[in-house]
Amino acid sequence: MKRIEWNGLDAAGREAALARPMQSRAAALRDGTEAIIADVRARGDAALVELTARYDGAKLTALAVTEAEFAAAEARLPVELKAAVLEAAARIEYFHRAAAPTPVSVETAPGVTVERVLRPIRRVGLYVPAGGAPLPSTAIMLGVPAAIAGCREVVLCTPVQANGRCDDAVLFAARATGVTRVFKLGGAQAIAAMAYGTASVPRCDKLFGPGNAWVTEAKLQVAGDPAGAAIDMPAGPSEVLVIADADADPRFIAADLLSQAEHGPDSQVLLVSPSAAQLDAVEIEVERQRRELPRAEVAASALGESRLILVADLDEAVEVSNRYAPEHLIIQTENPRALLDAVESAGSVFLGEWTPESVGDYCSGSNHVLPTYGYARSYSGVSVASFQKQVTVQELSAQGLRNIGPCAAILAEAEQLEAHRRAVTLRLAAMDAAA
């Protein structure tokens, strides 16, 4: 891991110190994704079957998961795994219901009522990766808020294995959240199918979920097409930033850093501390624990782009974190909540030594679909609100228009929008004539 002394850097050095690994949008990736999307749009299911055979090695006669396949997947799963999925889903539902937006109705002036009503997005598409490793937790994180929001139709795509099956745990998790339309599709072709629709896959209004570079590129392309679909957020590789004081346990810190580093070679992990001794201890502990991991080489690649940053104090550590805007922020200090008010930009925050990032990934109740690559400066993680539209409503009585109409007329005149002004003044004149 690269060692950095923050106060020894100039502005350019600080920017370089917090740079993410280069996110590849090479011409080959862009062009290849564009070609896949065009093929799916032109040939529909036939293209999906051919692409699935080419990339996943599965020759499909049908794209949709059947009732018998759902039942068989559930029967094959260990009882303890099914129980864990249901436990996590219940906890995630509990938090997401409590945090969901609520309707609002206020009287902004006598006779003037303004409301906010909530409407679910009609049809949403969920993508659950299963390339390097299946992610049933993502099915929960997306399916639960979609159900709470009341989306009428929920479609889920997940890659198929060479044996023609989708991952058993992903299918069980999807069904546990009420998702019954699952398609054996992965990669850019799955995103294209949900964005534009085919004979088998319905066209969706908004797409959700993480994925590899091809999935990410496909989401960006369909989101930029007026005929495509909206997406939850831009995404990049997974990341974590840990703020630690001298008394934090280096074993815990190392474990948290490695839990993100094992995601992939382009993941990034940072430790920010005012204690040089802590940085030393964590560096040693990271290497010791890394060698014990099944994905040790993947973690090693990620650590090559990671940072150990020495700062003057914890206040400066928070400043560094806000500048980086991490997907996950872990604060392991004597009084972590004392720093929380100063945190401005982070996808999700984990306070204290007994709060590993892993619990947020699986079962604490928060959502693990979060903004990465610095997008936490302006985006939030997935929630019930992500699956809803907030529609404002206003209703005026005659007296209400008398009260605020002159204000609207003056502003319309200032903007030289005469029809706007007359839409108000004609009504006011009609009131006067009837009086």
Each residue's pLDDT tens digit, 252-302:
999 999 999 998 888 999 999 999 999 999 999 999 999 999 999 999 999
65-69: long-range contacts (C-beta < 8 A, 24 or more apart)? Answer: 65/166, 65/171, 65/182, 65/183, 65/184, 69/165, 69/166, 69/171
Q: Would you say the CATH fold of 236-380 matches that of 27-101+120-231?
A: yes
327 is catalytic: yes
State the catalytic residue, choosing from 93, 262, 327, 353: 327
Give, in words, the CATH class of 236-380.
Answer: alpha beta
| Cβ proximity of 189 and 40 under 8 Å | yes
CA distance 228 to 230: 7
328 is catalytic: yes
* Confidence check: pLDDT of 326 > 90: yes
34-71: pLDDT as tens digits: 999 999 999 999 999 999 999 999 999 999 999 999 99
Rounded mean pLDDT, 414-433: 97
27-101+120-231 topology per CATH: Rossmann fold (3.40.50)
Q: In the prediction, which pLDDT does 435 show?
A: 80
Termini Cα distance of the chain: 80
pLDDT over 70, % of the chain: 99
107: number of CA atoms within 13 Å, CB side?
Answer: 9
Domain ranges in the chain are: 27-101+120-231, 236-380, 397-434
Q: Which residues pair with 243 in a beta bridge?
A: 272, 331
pLDDT over 90, % of the chain: 92
Query: Is the alpha carbon torsion for 165, 215, 324, 381 positive or negative?
Result: negative
What is the value of pTM for the model shown?
0.93
Binding residues for Zn(2+), as ranges, are 260, 263, 361, 420
DSSP state of 415: T
Binding residues, as ranges, are 127, 189, 212, 238, 260, 263, 328, 361, 415, 420
390-419: pLDDT as tens digits: 999 999 999 999 999 999 999 999 999 999
Non-local (6+) Cβ contacts of 184 within 8 A are: 52, 58, 60, 63, 64, 65, 158, 159, 160, 164, 166
Binding residues for substrate, as ranges, are 238, 260, 263, 328, 361, 415, 420
